[in-house]
Structure 1
Amino acid sequence: MKTLYDASRYVEFKDSREASANVGFSGEIQGISAGCQYKEDQPIQVVMDVLFEMGKGPQAQGTAKTYHYWVAVTDRNREVIAKQSFDLPVSFPAGQDRVYVTEHLKNVVIPRGTATTSGANFEILVGFDVTPEMAEFNRQGKRFRLNAGAATTVAAEGASQPR
C-alpha cells in the first residue's frame, strides 16, 4: 500500500498563482495502514486506515470542503485492475486551519486466480483527485511549510516518484 506521489497532496491556488497567500484548501495523505485476509482461492480482503491532514489557507471560501480521493488496485507496476472513488467531507472548526481525518475502508478487494497467487503480485495505491497543475506541483516536489511565522515554498530533494 502506498500513496501515488503525483496525487499525494492537494493544493488549490487562487488564480493558479503559486504563493502561500493564494492557497485555498489543501490536503496531504499522511499515512496508510492495512491488514489483509487470505481464504483459499477467494479474493484477498483488505481493511485500510488512511490518515489525511487537511488545511484551510487564506483564500479558502467557507469552513467546509469535500475532498475527493481514490483507491486503486494494480497488477504490480503494470495496470489498474480496479479503482474506486470516495468523497471526504471536512469541516474546519472556528479558529482552526488544520484538521486530521482517518478514513476506515473495509471493502478493498484484490482479485486473484488461484489459492497460490500471492498478494505480492498486487499494489494498492491511494491519491487525491488532482488537476494536471496540482500533479505537476507535486511532481516537482514543491510544498508550503511554515517557517518562523512566514509560509515559504520548499522543494523536496530526492523525493521518490513512484508511477
Structure 2
Amino acid sequence: MALGAIAGVSVAAFADPSPGLKPMAFLAGHCWMGEFPGSQRTDTHCFQWVYEGKALRDTHTVRAPGRPDYVGETTYYWDPAGKRVEYLYIENQGGVSHGTVTVDGDALVFPAAQYVAEGEAMTYRVRWTPQTSDGDGPASYEAWSEAQTKDGWTTMFKLVLKRQP
C-alpha cells in the first residue's frame, strides 16, 4: 500500500476485478467530473475497487453554489446467482435504488430501475458511453439519464464526465 501511496495512485486501482465487472475497469482508481449544461452544478464520481476487485465503489457528489452537496454511494458487484452485475445506491437525502448493469458495445447500460425517496418512486434508466481516449484508456464518458413519465421516456440530463488528474 505504501508504494501506491507514494506514487499517488491507489493500489485499489490495480485489483483484478471479477470477470463481470471488467467492462467497468476503466473507471476504477479515477475521479470523473462533469458540469451540467447551463448551470454551475458539477457532478463528480470517484471509483475504487473494494474487496480485491469483487466490488466497485462509486462515491458521487453533486455540488451547486449556495446549496448543500448531494452525496451518494453506489456499490457494483457480480451476482453469481443472477449471472449479472447489480448495484445498490444510497444517498444522503434518504433515496435508494437497486438495479443491474449490462454491456452494449462499449457502453454500460443501466436498465430501468426504481429510485425511491420519501415514499415516492421514480423509474429511470441510464447509459454511460466512453468518449475520448488517451494512452490510458477513455478520458471521458457521456452519462445519459432518462426518467419514465406518463408520456414515455424523457431526458433528465446528458453530461460528459472527464477523468481528473
TM-score scaled to structure 2, two decimals?
0.33
Give 1 or 2: higher strand fraction: 2
Structure showing greater radius of gyration is 1
TM-score scaled to structure 1, two decimals?
0.33
Pick 1 or 2: higher relative contact order, CA cutoff 8 A, min separation 6: 1
